[in-house]
Amino acid sequence: MPQISLLGQTFEVDENGFIQEPERWTEELAKAIAREAEGITEMTDNHWAIVRYIRNYYLQYGQAPMIRKLCKDTGIKLKEVYTLFPSGPARGACKIAGLPKPTGCV
């Protein structure tokens, strides 16, 4: 399995760069993934609202939320989600949240 090195640690990732050990996630790791993998240099409050929501939802239900639920529950409009995470909520936000690649839409 491929690996990446961030913050002086090595993490196993899938072929798309998603970390395979969600329990090793930290907010510092999220910042590093955002910067290195997604080109996001500054995590704003709305970035964090989405990442934390997705992560908490995953930990509670074992899957990422549907995009409509994400927008409804966070109050962040779909257009802004794609502005914040240009590669999309499934690829960008879930990767930054330290989750495995979602099987469905986020």
Catalytic residues: 105
Instruction: Provide the 3-class DSSP secondary structure of residue 19.
Output: strand
- Cβ atoms of 41 and 47 closer than 8 Å: no
63 with 104: CB under 8 angstroms?
yes
